[in-house]
Amino acid sequence: MPQRLALTALLVRDYAEAIDFYVRKVGFELRSDSDQGGGKRWVVVGPHGGGAGLLLAKPANGKGVGEQGAGRVFLFLETDDFERDHGRMHEAGVHFLEAPRREAYGTVAVFEDLYGNRWDLIEPAKP
């Protein structure tokens, strides 16, 4: 089997609030939620239809939540319909830092998750 990126660990303060944000506001599906004991859970969310997901993880030392990108865009969410997803996410209360803009590589807008991590919502340019 060739290699593929399966999960990215995303530090969260609280599992329930993170699940709510990513499922209800961003529109991801909850792929897994199992108790691992000792206050740990294996919680995976990701876009419908498969692909890489996010492992929502509480940091062992309580640090780093919202700082994984060090103020830069950290994650990139690709869509086939920018207007649909931008509108739905905006209506759900996702905070966009800018108006949508067209670049040579596609239509894009930066948004923040509930902890301040920056994301690009992007529809790639058609060839």
User: What are the sequence ranges of the domains in the chain?
Assistant: 1-59, 68-127
Domain 1-59: CATH architecture, name and number where available: Roll (3.10)
pLDDT tens, position by position, 57-104:
999 898 999 999 999 999 999 999 999 999 999 999 999 999 999 999
What is the average pLDDT score of the chain? 96
Which of these, 9, 16, 45, lies nearest to 28 by C-alpha position? 45
Phi, psi of 53 (to 5 degrees): -130, 180
Tokens of 62: 């309580």
* Cβ atoms within 10 Å of 61's Cβ, excluding its own: 5
Query: Which pTM was predicted?
Result: 0.92
Q: Per residue in 13-41, pLDDT tens?
A: 999 999 999 999 999 999 999 999 988 89
pLDDT at 38: 87
| C-beta of residue 17 within 8 angstroms of C-beta of residue 25 | no
Please, what CATH class does the domain formed by 68-127 belong to? alpha beta
Fold agreement (1-59, 68-127) = yes
Tell me the mean pLDDT in the region 99-125.
97
pLDDT higher than 80, residue 127: yes
Residue 33: predicted pLDDT: 98
Q: Which residues contact 85 (CB under 8 A, 6 or more apart)?
A: 27, 79, 121
* pLDDT(1) > 80: no
